Amino acid sequence: MSLRTIHKFPDPVLRKKAEKITAFDARLEDLATDMIETMYDAPGVGLAAPQIGESVQLIVVNAAQDEDSEESMILVNPEIVEKEGTQVDEEGCLSVLDLTAAVKRSQKITVSYQDIKGEKQELTVEDRFAVVLQHEIDHLHGVLFIDHLSTLKRALYKKKVKKMLVTQA
Shortest Å, Cβ 94 to Ni ion? 6
Residues at the interface with Ni ion (CB under 5 A): 93
- Annotated catalytic, 90? no
**Catalytic one of 84, 90, 119, 136:** 136
| Residue number of the CB atom closest to Ni ion | 93
**Identity of the residue, 76 or 93, whose beta carbon is nearer to Ni ion in the bound complex:** 93
Spatial neighbors of 29 by CB under 8 A, at least 6 apart, are: 116
Shortest Å, Cβ 117 to Ni ion? 26
Contact 2, 9 (CB under 8 A): no
SS3 165: helix
Shortest Å, Cβ 118 to Ni ion? 25
How far apart CA 5 and CA 108 sit, in angstroms, is 32
Between the alpha carbon of residue 82 and those of residues 79, 104, 108, 137, the distances in Å are 9, 16, 8, 14
How far apart CA 166 and CA 151 sit, in angstroms, is 23
Residues designated catalytic: 136
